[in-house]
């Protein structure tokens, strides 16, 4: 799925104070492209990811997925489009505490009322080293284990776009390498467009294309 962003801006208001988190952002990504988005804390990179996933509404500008104007959809249609086409890995995990790890992973398929491909789900679980944790609840898992559950959940629907907000922020070096390898290999195998927000230069350097965000402005590619 091709992505095109045109003059995208986001302003947050707190009483009489306005903060422009993203300013007139434009870029595109071809189907299957893999992009890292870097920038300092507070630069606007997570805001960009949230807009791309429909988790925040843009103040102005447009986001196109193929021919679909994502920013013109109602909230319910936006949510439906995201569930069917976009996988999101949140920095805060956002797992359901009353559900086991396995149930959390299969949740998007349950919401879509689709019969789960358990072979594929188990392959993800195996590659993320979660087999011994599938019947545990989030509160019984470490931060790194919860993040790996969140990654499996985002991939289980075989999305066309995969958005990741600091997916390795709570992982050690070995698991960071495994997770980035899994994300990149899966994206390549399924022709998924992969966009990863990261502050880790070593992670960003593994991507063929890097975008930088500074003070709400998306800069040119880093070569």
pLDDT of residue 221: 59
Taking residues 60-88, report their average pLDDT.
94
pLDDT of residue 15: 80
Please say if the pLDDT value at position 82 is more than 80: yes
What's the N-to-C CA distance of the chain in angstroms? Answer: 24
CA 169/CA 179 separation, integer angstroms? 11
Contact in structure between 9 and 63 (CB atoms under 8 Å): no
pLDDT of residue 159: 93
Taking residues 32-45, report their average pLDDT.
92
Please say if the pLDDT value at position 222 is more than 50: no
CA 171/CA 82 separation, integer angstroms? 26
Query: What pTM was computed for the model?
Result: 0.89
State the alpha helices, DSSP H only, in 53-100: 75-85
Q: Per-residue pLDDT tens for 18-38?
A: 889 999 999 999 999 999 999
> At 220, is the pLDDT very low, low, confident or very high (cuts 50, 70, 90)?
low
Q: Per-residue pLDDT tens for 159-210?
A: 999 999 998 887 788 888 888 988 898 888 888 999 999 988 899 999 999 9
CA 87/CA 90 separation, integer angstroms? 10
> At 138, is the pLDDT very low, low, confident or very high (cuts 50, 70, 90)?
very high
* Domain of residue 125, residue span: 3-221
Q: How many domains does the chain have?
A: 1
Taking residues 112-139, report their average pLDDT.
91
Query: In this structure, what CATH number is given to the domain that contains residue 131?
Result: 3.40.50.300
State the alpha helices, DSSP H only, in 4-73: 45-52
Cα–Cα–Cα angle for 43, 52, 180, rounded to 5 degrees? 75
> At 76, is the pLDDT very low, low, confident or very high (cuts 50, 70, 90)?
very high
- Whole-number average pLDDT of the chain: 91
> At 223, is the pLDDT very low, low, confident or very high (cuts 50, 70, 90)?
very low
């Amino acid at each position: 799925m091709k992505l095109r962003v045109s003059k995208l801006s986001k302003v947050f208001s707190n009483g009489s104070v306005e903060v422009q988190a993203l300013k007139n952002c434009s870029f595109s990504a071809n189907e299957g492209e893999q992009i890292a988005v870097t920038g300092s804390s507070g630069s606007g990179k997570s805001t960009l990811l949230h807009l791309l996933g429909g988790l925040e509404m843009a103040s102005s500008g447009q986001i196109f997925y193929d021919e679909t104007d994502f920013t013109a959809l109602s909230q319910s249609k936006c949510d439906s489009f995201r569930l069917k086409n976009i996988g999101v890995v949140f920095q805060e995990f956002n797992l359901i505490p009353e559900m086991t790890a396995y149930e959390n992973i299969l949740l998007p398929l349950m919401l879509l009322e689709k019969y789960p491909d358990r072979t594929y789900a188990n392959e993800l679980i195996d590659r993320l080293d979660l087999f011994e944790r599938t019947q545990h609840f989030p509160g019984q898992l470490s931060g790194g284990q919860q993040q790996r559950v969140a990654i499996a959940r985002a991939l289980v629907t075989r999305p066309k776009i995969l958005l990741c907000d600091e997916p390795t922020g709570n992982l050690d070096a070995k698991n960071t390498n495994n997770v980035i390898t899994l994300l990149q290999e899966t994206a390549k195998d399924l022709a998924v467009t992969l966009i990863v927000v990261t502050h880790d230069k070593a992670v960003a350097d593994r991507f063929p294309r890097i975008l930088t965000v500074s003070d709400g402005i998306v800069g040119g590619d880093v070569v």
